[in-house]
Amino acid sequence: EPLPVTQPDGALPLTVAHRGYSSVAPENTLAAVEAGIRAGSEYVEIDAQTTADGVPVVMHDNTVDRTTDGTGDISKLTADHVTGLDAGSWFSPAFAGQRVPTLGEVLDLVKGSGSTLLLEVKGPETRAETGGILAEVTERGMSEQVLLQSFDERVLRDARELAPEIPLGLLRGTLDADPLATARDLGVVAYNPSSAALLTRPGTVATLNDAGIAVMPYTIDDAGTWARLAEIGVDAVITNKAGEHFGWRQRA
Ligand code: G3P
Ligand code: CA
C-alpha cells in the first residue's frame, strides 16, 4: 500500500531517516538504510547521482572525498571504481567494508520493507540521467514505494514527463512567495523546506495541506524543534536520529 502522503489533522509527523539512520551508521550506505528500516521509519531518505558510465549510485556530495577512501568527482568516475570504495571506515572502523551502494541495491533493500524511499536526485542531472534513475524504480515496480524529491526544478519537470506515475517532492532552502502556486506548477505532492525557513511562516503548512500537499521539513535532530513542527502540523520530519524520534513521539 502506498503511504498516504499528507497526514490527518492531529496526527504526529512521520519519521524520515535522513541518508538512512545516519547518526548510527555511515550515511547513504546499505547499513544506514537497513538501520532506518529496522527503526521503523516510515520513510528512508537517500541521495542519488550518476557515474561517468551512467550508473545511479547513492552519495550526498558530488565528490567521493568526504565519505570514502577515494578522491574525485562521481560524474568523472566509473561505477566499478565508485562502488569499490570503502564508505564506512570514515565513520567508524566497525563499518569498514560498507561500500557505496548503487541505487538498485538500495531499492532492492527497501522493496517489501515497511518503508517508503524518499529518493533525492542531486542535480544537476541531465534528462537522460534522470531517466536512468527513474528506470531503476519503474523496472522494479516500485513507483508506489518511492517519493522522488529534488532541489532542482529541471529534474522534477523531466521526471514528471518521463514517469508521471512517480510522486514528486520539491526541496527548498527558503520559502517561495507563494509555495502553493509553485507546488502546483511543478505538480509535486510534497513541499519540503528547511525547518528554519518553514518556521518563519508556519501557516504555510495549513495552506499546502488544505490543497492535499504534504510538508516534510529537513533536517531536525532536536526534540524542541520536532515538537514545534508537530504543533504546526507538518506531515513528516527528516532527521539523522530516526530511532530517537519514536521516543519524541511517545512523549508528545
Ligand atoms: O531530504 C532533505 C535533505 O536531505 C536536503 O539536504 O543536503 O542533506 O541533501 P541535503
Ligand atoms: Ca538529501
Dump the DSSP string for 97-131.
Answer: T-BPPBHHHHHHHHTTSSPEEEEEE-S---HHHHH
For residue 14 the three cell numbers come to: 512521520
Q: Give the largest CA-CA distance in the chain.
A: 48
- Is the CB of 152 within 6 Å of ligand 1? no
Q: List pLDDT tens digits, range 79-127.
A: 999 999 999 999 999 999 999 999 999 999 999 999 999 999 997 899 9
Distance 233 CA to ligand 2 centre (A): 22
Q: What pLDDT does 2 receive?
A: 64
> Whose Cα sits closest to atom 5 in ligand 1?
218
CATH architecture of the domain 14-61+102-251 equals: Alpha-Beta Barrel (3.20)
Q: What pLDDT does 76 receive?
A: 98
Distance 217 CA to ligand 1 centre (A): 10
Residue bearing cell 515496480: 141
- Give the end-to-end CA distance of the chain in Å, rounded to a whole number: 27
Please report the DSSP string for 167-202 in residue order.
Answer: -EEEEESS--SSHHHHHHHHT-SEEEEBHHHHHHST
Q: What pLDDT does 188 receive?
A: 97
Q: What pLDDT does 27 receive?
A: 99
Q: What residue spans define the domains of the chain? A: 14-61+102-251
Q: What is the complex's ipTM, to 2 decimals?
A: 0.98
Choice from 41, 45, 61, 67 to test ligand 1 binding pocket (greatest atom count within 8 A of CB): 45
- Is the CB of 120 within 6 Å of ligand 1? yes
> Averaged in consecutive runs of 10 residues, what is the pLDDT profile of the chain (252 residues)?
78 96 98 98 98 98 98 98 98 98 98 96 94 98 97 98 97 98 98 98 97 97 96 97 90 81
- Is the CB of 18 within 6 Å of ligand 1? yes
Q: Which helix (H) or strand (E) holds 231?
A: helix 223-231
Choice from 18, 150, 198 to test ligand 1 binding pocket (greatest atom count within 8 A of CB): 18
Q: What pLDDT does 139 receive?
A: 98
Distance 36 CA to ligand 2 centre (A): 15
Query: Which residue from 108, 119, 94 is spatially nearest to 34, judged by alpha carbons?
Result: 108
Spatial separation of the C-alpha atoms in residues 213 and 179, rounded to whole Å = 10
Distance 47 CA to ligand 2 centre (A): 5
Specify which residues 116 forms β-bridges with: 43
Choice from 14, 219, 229, 240 to test ligand 1 binding pocket (greatest atom count within 8 A of CB): 219
pTM for this prediction: 0.97
CA distances from 149 to 152, 159, 190 (A): 9, 10, 8
Q: What pLDDT does 80 receive?
A: 98
Pick the atom of ligand 1 nearest to 238's CA. Answer: 1
Integer-rounded Cα Rg, in Å, for the chain is: 17
Q: How many helices (H) and strands (E) does the chain have?
A: 10, 9
Q: What pLDDT does 247 receive?
A: 86
Cis check for the bond before 4: say yes or no (omega within 30 of 0). no
Helix 179-186 crosses helix 153-162 at what angle (to 10 degrees)?
A: 40
